[in-house]
Chain A
Amino acid sequence: MESFREGKVPYLHCLNCKRNFFYPRDRCPNCHSSSLEVRVSSGKGKVFSVTEFQGKVYAIIEMEEGFRLYANVLDKVEIGEEVIAVKGDGRPNFKRVSKP
């Protein structure tokens, strides 16, 4: 999972029930199968919920592949806004996808 430190978001895909999940476990949290595969997300997601404290933005992001994770976001964002993973200092950060 070196890709994580490079700003990418890896995740696990269950070959049995097809569920995608993020926090690494050796069994699928849905069907408990150990038939799993590591994949890398497109990095695209939407803000599921967000809060701002002391000038920092902390959110739950729902990724395009259907799993969610906690993340820090570099911009002020609202629920539903599109964000994308970018390289951070050890794990990805997220930033707003600028509207054309």
Chain B
Amino acid sequence: MILGFSSSIHKRYEGSTFRLMSDTVDKALEMAGLQRDNIDGLIATFLPGTFDGNIALHFYTSQLAQYLGIRPRFLDYVDFGGASALAMLYRAEKAIASGDADNVLLIVGGKASPVRERKVTADSIDRAYKGITLTPFDEYFRTYEDMNPVTDYALVAKRHSHLFGTSDEQRAEIAVKQRFNASGNPSAIYKERIEVKDVISSRIVSDPLRLLEIVYPVDGFHVFVVGKSGGKSNLRPLRIKHFGEAHWPDMPPELPDIVSTPAIESARGARQMLDKIDCFQLYDSFTITVLLQLEDVGLTEKGKGGKFAEEVDFTYQGEIPINTGGGSLNVGQPAYMSGGVILEEALIQLNRMGEGRQVKDVNQVLINGIGGWNRAHSTTMILGE
């Protein structure tokens, strides 16, 4: 059961990453009605460069526990990038059910700014720091120039258009509708309404993806507190009604095609429940990421994502609300992983805390996380009472 959650997002946070993490933990514990002493479990994730610019933290989870002053009897580390947050929640619930822990902290995030300022991303970090390999065969795999993950998702968008006739305007609809949702979210960093022509006229970053289709990496954390009972928490007693996880470690050149994600497999068991879902939170590193999940989760057929984006009102007021807080395209992506953003928005909707963008009568939310370099991981979760 999720007892508390919190987030702290800054375009650039001047203090230490540990301090930012610690403050976010305290806010989540306050909502949960718990003290640090009550915590006996910890699950975290990490990407190179996102903790005060360090490429690695030796025994990472132990360092976090040390700083927080907690002594866990259950400790875990999940490295599925943007798919991690949901996997962590699932693992925490299992640990609690089996008696391995009573109250587990989930910590997702870090500081993107030290990586951003070196003009790389977490997925091209080997271009800025030595001693990191991205694949077991980097010498043959890495080209002279790329800008991953942007260039890779651009290849996907280009091929999707080639195979299915998806237009730039259709992808732009995703940015426009999510921005509409963001206009009701006080914690979004981008709130001004935009139109399709604004997206189309924004700078091309990697053809065909434009600036307004791409997430902005920020400094920040999402912390979730998972415990056995409601206790002092005022949150709804939510449980995981479905969870699926799938991992495709093949790099894109070796996939049968690049226009599908492992959500096809992770969402398999959720597909027959789609008509009972009140809103969807789909991973949104890029507009094309959302478009792929519309198809792979099963909201529309493969190849029809563009048409769906164009024709379906998926704002928070619409028939199928998607990314109701504006998603990470508008909230920002802490430490190059948006899993916390989509999980937090699901909890906000389920607990009727959506202020300017609350969907009516939300009882079940489907959340889909995508992560790893080049869509290697997918986690699909349905949360409800």
Which residues of B, 135-154, contact A by the 8 Å Cβ criterion?
A: 135-137, 139-147, 150-151, 154
Q: Is the pair A79, B159 in contact by a Cβ cutoff of 8 Å?
A: yes
A29 to chain B, nearest CB (A): 7
Q: Is the pair A49, B150 in contact by a Cβ cutoff of 8 Å?
A: no
Which residues of B, 225-258, contact A by the 8 Å Cβ criterion?
A: 250-254, 258
Which residues of A, 17-51, contact B by the 8 Å Cβ criterion?
A: 21-25, 29, 48-51
A49 and B143 contact, Cβ closer than 8 Å, known pairs A58-B151, A58-B155, A60-B155: no
Provide the bound-state CA to CA distance between A91 and B253, in Å: 17
Q: Is the pair B141, A23 in contact by a Cβ cutoff of 8 Å?
A: yes
Which residues of B, 146-189, contact A by the 8 Å Cβ criterion?
A: 146-147, 150-151, 154-156, 158-159, 162
* Interface residue count on the B side (C-beta < 8 Å): 31
Provide the bound-state CA to CA distance between A56 and B205, in Å: 11
Instruction: Mark interface residues in B180-217 (1 if CB within 8 Å of A CB, else 0).
Output: 00000000000000000000000001111100000000
Provide the bound-state CA to CA distance between A24 and B136, in Å: 9
Q: Is the pair B143, A72 in contact by a Cβ cutoff of 8 Å?
A: yes
Residue of A nearest to B135 (CB): A23
A52 and B207 contact, Cβ closer than 8 Å, known pairs A69-B253, A79-B159: yes
Residue of B nearest to A53 (CB): B206
A59 at the binding interface (Cβ < 8 Å): yes
Provide the bound-state CA to CA distance between A70 and B137, in Å: 12
* Interface residue count on the A side (C-beta < 8 Å): 31
Q: Is the pair B140, A59 in contact by a Cβ cutoff of 8 Å?
A: no
Residue of B nearest to A56 (CB): B145
Residues from chain B with a CB closer than 8 A to the CB of A54 are 147
Task: Specify which of A52, A53, A59, A72 lies most central, judged by the most chain B CB atoms within 10 Å of its CB.
Answer: A53
B300 to chain A, nearest CB (A): 22
Q: Is the pair A29, B137 in contact by a Cβ cutoff of 8 Å?
A: no
Cβ-neighbour of A24 out of B137, B162, B207, B208 (below 8 A): B137
Q: Is the pair B145, A58 in contact by a Cβ cutoff of 8 Å?
A: yes
Q: Is the pair B144, A89 in contact by a Cβ cutoff of 8 Å?
A: yes
- B interface list, Cβ under 8 A from A: 135-137, 139-147, 150-151, 154-156, 158-159, 162, 205-209, 250-254, 258
Question: Other than the known A49-B162, A70-B142, what 14 A-B pairs have Cβ atoms closer than 8 Å?
Answer: A22-B140, A23-B140, A23-B141, A29-B250, A48-B253, A53-B150, A53-B154, A53-B206, A58-B143, A58-B155, A68-B253, A79-B158, A79-B159, A91-B143
A-B pairs, top 7 by smallest CB distance, nearest first, are A51-B154, A68-B253, A53-B206, A49-B159, A49-B155, A23-B137, A52-B207
